[in-house]
Chains A and B, each alone.
Chain A
Amino acid sequence: MTERIAQHPDLPLFSSPKKSFSFTFNGKTIEAHEGDTVASALIAAGVRITSRSFKYHRPRGPKDNFGQGPELLMTVDHAPNVRSDMIPVRAGMQVETQNAWPSTQLDLMSINNFAVPLLPNGFYYKMFHKPKWLWPIAERFIRKAAGLGKIDTQGRAVDTRYEKRYRFPDVCVVGSGPAGLASVKAALDAGKQVLLIEEQEQLGGHSRHTVFKVENCREKKLNGLTEQEAVRSLIDEIEKHPNLEILSQTQAFAVYEDNLVAAQRGTELFKIRAISVVFAPGATDRHLVFDNNDKPGIMTGRGVERLIALHGIKPARRAVVITTHDGGYHTAKLLHGAGTEVLAVVDGRQKPPKNDWVDGIRKLGIPIFEGKTIHRVKGLNQVKKVEIGDLHGQFSSLSFACDLVVLAVGYQPQLNLLSQGRTRPVWDKKRQILRVTDLPQNIYAAGEVQGSASFARLYQEGFEAGRAAAQQSSLSESQRDENELIEALPADIESGGKHHFICPCMDVTRSEACHSIEEGFDQVETLKRYSSMGMGPCQGKTCHEAVARLAARDTGLSETEAVPTTMRPPLSPVSFGILAGRAPHLVPQRRTAMHHCHRKAGAAFLNAGQWKRPHSYLPPQEEALMVRKGLGIIDVSTLGKLELSGPDVMDFLHFMLPGKFRQLAVGRVRYSTMIGEDGILFEDGTISHLEEGVYYLSTTTGNQAAIESLFRWWVLTDQFKVHIKNLAPVHAAVNVAGEKSREFIQKLVDIDMSNEAFPYMACRKSTIADVPVLLFRIGFTGELGYEIHFPSEFGAPLWEYFLEQGKSYPLKPFGVETQRILRLEKGHLIPGVDTDALSNPYEAGVDFTVKEDKENFVGKAFLKNFKERGIENKLVSYKLNSADPIPEDGVAILKNGKIIGRVTSSRMSPTLGFGIGLAWVPRDLSGAGSRFQIRLANGQDVTAETLDHAAYDPQGERLTS
């Protein structure tokens, strides 16, 4: 029975909420108060069962109200697996429970609970595999039965906007309890830029609901205040500081190398790169294993305090507090003040100390049972009764009828962030906790993450950590006094019963863990992986200590051996949307200067690396015929363009390229390949002698950056006096192709375009429409054609100018796919498409570019070896019969059922009327007229005939005329 309270005698800063509004929960309208989380509003409304467990579909209810376990994961506004205790509720919010059918109150899948013996750990590894057809069916069922929220496949949250943010503070502090706030203060005092990350909406950590008095604090003004008042005072002091940025409601979920902290706030991802990071994430109430320890109505001490102090909720009618330290008395006092009847405080200590808190509880008439603890709870769907007895579960001596059991049996530090990917926690016998002691440089830990302590010590420790972080100096080992230590109860109170849940997320019980150990999984790593303990939504935050301690107990491993595995990101659920961001951020696109001309002309685009290039404007076959019979223009701006000059330029070209260029006259162009040091053909292009000592090298689109880097590297390495200018972005380029191209261009320029004055493989400078241009007579398409390079700022206007001037022919644009057909008709290879990392120039049929008699050049030694080895396979042109279907690129060539080669490029030639292509075949099939079988993707075979010449214009008359 829960209800709202308007005041509390022990909470000086208590203020009852004022505004109320409504939201829906499973379609039902629920009232919420300003300041509520989704979970607190539900609890106030009397909702006790908030979810069903992963495997057995047992009812689960609120426990710590701090985003730790799986019990409050819900679907909020269609987003699954939201921690409902960590997000403020808003008016109109749609909240739904998960993993239950038809409802969490009555879940038919809870039949699994009665099938525990049939569903031991790893049952899905062993069952349903025979007969073979059974597994796919079983898997579907298992996936449906298990699991958490369902992804919104209707895309109702598709317009969610995800942001990526960066921060670069000097000091990043995670956690805003006393230690975190003190760290911030120290770092600010040192003049540093500080970023404070707090998971909750309000700063202050657990002290916000703690009214212990502050004593002996180095910050004198805090002494005598309650912790609640002390953190408020600290917050008031620092929150307006100009060097402080506070990210509240922000979850640091991962830590990577070099102090990269990843955090999320709503739909924002923060990547924080700090010089130093102070982790002060605090601690949560210890997870205790006993019979039925997962029943709704069992809450942690701090979970109960949050409901009372932060949300003004009386959490139950009658409660029993199970504790081992004074914190349990604090919780009992707050419960009493909220109007809950506290039936007993059950203290595991044989002799609780005499102090105001223990005495205060006695004065209230609440019985205290010393040296006892919880044995089990009873109740079908929620707590109805609790039984207590000795610490080892042997003798149950008392029982209480209640609707709330509070567990305040010590604290387990929040180690995940400290441990992630770096260090495994170790058991600190003195402090009775797992700790991370070996921290990387400039990572600091302070506060309860080092063990529970007084406010004064937490403040001191935080302050020292903040100062060390500011100075990047070392931090002395934290200390704890005897009176600050909390003795741990046995990790499992072995009082009988089957439902001792170690891992509430994955529904793993003690008996299942023991069963796994019997099967041989007797190390923490294997036990975790086999049983999946610690692999649920909370990522072990709740259970890692219990897993380690019980593994030690049940396997006989020592405490130093039975430690949790290294913890991994993320600390809490992170949506794929957060990680993925938005498309424009991920894939920058490169557009040529004429891109929008193509778009407006209706071009379909293809991706060539980052480039968007026109695939075609019309059907490519139609465009190919247009070029062969008329006049076409293609945007080739993406080609690499390097200008080389300087005193050593000729030596450099001779060293870098396999050909000879000393005789290349000004105004002439030569085709060249490029060979790696391993003798492999990886690139081709043209070298043009633009003016005395100035050469212009064109490369393929994909290799332009790599070639520039390679050239610069060799220039530096071998001290060539060569100047390299990358003109790729500076120059746009088009190729005008077709038998009328000379006639067309002649109209635009004032130089002689005749075959005699401007022959094949020549280059000239001129102007078109007052724009300076470079003209290259080359012919990748196999047709009379000219490449025209010009300043890219004139790209779009000059493209339009060409089309306008060529209207009468007509001049039409064609795309990359059309160009591929045309070059294939001519048998021109494309490195990287028709060659691979094993192709040498001899086998690729471009050995005419290699001048072996040169003194030295890149790849010469390997080329010599290749030549001596002889040709094993050869790249050949082939043709098909006109009726044959066209093979797909990449299909196999077979002989007697064995793969002996492959097709690299294959198209239907609209000019010739039959299929053509390039293929790698064994040497004995490389002679003209040889026949081989190509296996199509559909399994059909077609016969191809090897050609020893280009399929189109074998004599090159059209190119050279």
Chain B
Amino acid sequence: MKAIIQKLSPLDEAYQRNAAHFLAEEGWSIPEHCGNPEKERAQLETGSVLVDWSHIGKITLRGNHAEDSASRLDSRAASLKPQQSCSTDDWAVLRLTGDEFMILCKSGKENAILASVEGDDLSILNHGGGLGCLVLGGKGRDEVIERSSAMNLRRDIVPAGTVVQTSIHMVPCTIFRTSSLEILIHTRDFSESLFDALMDVGHGVGLIPSGVATLPVSFSTGQED
């Protein structure tokens, strides 16, 4: 007995409450926009948007050979220090600790990456939907972050490309900062709480939920504004 079952983000219900329009991508149902893509794109310019990227690939490499393994995907990984990253449009390699890396990638590229990083004495975990991913974009995102974390995330101290493991609204998160985005990785069971808390503090500072029509998945770190 077979049925076609879609993969759902932990924020599926939250986005349904926000009248989201969903699209299918690599077996996932993901929010494309929340009813008014033009307004959401405008908000990206003037305020801030919160977008669900839970469908992206998330793979961790752990062990003594994690660095070698990550370098097979991206040779720059070998020179990364903890809290640093290297990225392309399709993937980002985040060095979390001395022997732990996290690879984020566009949905559907997981298998190719898993094949390239495979190695001995290495713990590889494809998190799939076990981790949620929320992305904050827009000029107003700094104000949302400032109201959400007790950690100093000033841009001159935490520049684009930095990886920080901290908590946002008491939810443990790995934050990957690009020049235009804050990418928040967290366990999926906290996703809705995190979404609600961010939207709550974003109230009044122009934060609205949006989808991949406004912020398509891209991991280019870019340069600071």
Contact = CB atoms under 8 A, between A and B. Distances in A.
Interface of A: 163-168, 193, 271, 273, 582, 584-593, 595-596, 611, 645, 721, 723-727, 729-731, 747-748, 769-771, 791-798, 801, 805
Interface stretch (B35-43, B109-117, B194-202): B194-202
B3 A193 contact: no
26 contacts: A164-B147, A165-B147, A193-B156, A271-B150, A273-B150, A273-B152, A584-B169, A584-B196, A584-B200, A585-B170, A588-B190, A588-B193, A591-B191, A592-B189, A595-B192, A596-B12, A611-B189, A723-B62, A723-B122, A729-B187, A730-B125, A730-B127, A730-B130, A791-B7, A793-B28, A793-B129
Nearest to B128: A791
B134 to A, nearest CB: 13
Interface of B: 1-10, 12-13, 28, 54, 62-63, 121-123, 125, 127-131, 146-147, 149-150, 152-154, 156-157, 169-171, 187-194, 196-197, 200-201
A785 B54 CA distance: 32
A249 to B, nearest CB: 18
Contacts of B152: 168, 273
B131 A729 contact: yes
A825 to B, nearest CB: 30
A793 B55 CA distance: 9
A163 B147 contact: yes
A596 B54 CA distance: 17
Contacts of B63: 723
B154 A193 contact: yes
Given A164-B147, A166-B149, A791-B129, A769 B189 contact: no
B130 A582 contact: no
A79 to B, nearest CB: 20
B196 A596 contact: no
Contacts of A593: 8, 10, 129, 188
A797 B29 CA distance: 11
Contacts of B54: 793
A587 to B, nearest CB: 8
A944 to B, nearest CB: 39
Given A769-B3, A770-B2, A801-B3, A729 B193 contact: no
A798 B5 contact: yes
B130 A725 contact: no
Nearest to A770: B2
A727 B125 CA distance: 9
Contact of A725 (B4, B125, B191): B125
Given A730-B130, A731-B130, A792-B129, A163 B201 contact: yes
Contacts of A592: 189
Contacts of B201: 163, 585
Contact of A591 (B10, B123, B128, B130): B10
Contact of A793 (B3, B9, B62): B9
Contacts of B28: 793
Nearest to A645: B123
Contacts of B189: 590-592, 611, 729
Nearest to B14: A596
Contacts of B4: 769-770
Contacts of A596: 12-13
A805 B130 contact: no
B147 A588 contact: no
A168 B146 CA distance: 9
Contact of B197 (A588, A645, A730, A805): A588
A796 B2 contact: no
Contacts of A645: 123
A593 B190 CA distance: 10
A115 to B, nearest CB: 51
A866 to B, nearest CB: 36
Contacts of A724: 123
B200 A769 contact: no
B1 A797 contact: no
Given A595-B192, A769-B1, A797-B5, 18 more contacts: A164-B147, A168-B157, A584-B169, A584-B196, A585-B200, A591-B10, A721-B121, A723-B63, A729-B127, A729-B130, A730-B128, A730-B129, A769-B4, A769-B5, A792-B10, A793-B8, A794-B129, A798-B5
Contacts of B194: 588
Contact of B7 (A273, A586, A747, A793): A793
A801 B5 contact: yes
A797 B193 contact: no
Contacts of B3: 769-770, 801
A273 B4 CA distance: 52
Given A730-B125, A796-B8, A805 B1 contact: yes
A946 to B, nearest CB: 41
Contacts of A611: 189
Q: Which of A727, A771, A792, A801 has the most CB of B within 10 A?
A: A792
Q: Which 8 A-B pairs have the closest CB atoms?
A: A793-B129, A730-B130, A723-B123, A168-B152, A793-B7, A590-B189, A729-B130, A588-B193
Q: Which of B128, B130, B153 has the most CB of A within 10 A?
A: B130
A836 B7 CA distance: 41
Contacts of B10: 591, 593, 792
Contact of A585 (B123, B187, B197): B197
Given A168-B152, A793-B28, A725 B8 contact: no
A554 B190 CA distance: 62
B185 to A, nearest CB: 11
A708 B157 CA distance: 32
A98 to B, nearest CB: 31
A548 B150 CA distance: 39
A795 B123 contact: no
A795 B12 CA distance: 12
Contacts of A729: 127, 130-131, 187-189
A871 to B, nearest CB: 40
A771 B4 CA distance: 9
A585 B199 CA distance: 11
Contacts of B191: 591
Q: Which of A166, A193, A586, A595 has the most CB of B within 10 A?
A: A166
Contacts of A727: 125, 130
A860 to B, nearest CB: 28
A286 to B, nearest CB: 39
A167 B145 CA distance: 11
A241 to B, nearest CB: 15
Q: Which of B10, B54, B171, B194 has the most CB of A within 10 A?
A: B10
Contacts of A793: 7-9, 28, 54, 128-129
Q: Which of A586, A645, A725, A731 has the most CB of B within 10 A?
A: A725
B1 A748 contact: yes
Contacts of B146: 165-167
B112 to A, nearest CB: 19
A588 B171 contact: yes
Contacts of A797: 5-6, 8
A725 B188 CA distance: 16
Nearest to A747: B1
Contacts of B197: 584-585, 588
Nearest to A169: B154
Contacts of B122: 723
A646 to B, nearest CB: 8
A589 B127 CA distance: 21
Nearest to A798: B5
A900 B196 CA distance: 49
Nearest to B130: A730
B15 to A, nearest CB: 12
Nearest to B10: A593
A271 B201 CA distance: 15
Nearest to A712: B62
A273 B150 CA distance: 9
Nearest to A725: B125
A271 B131 CA distance: 30
A770 B170 CA distance: 36
A526 B196 CA distance: 49
Nearest to A796: B8
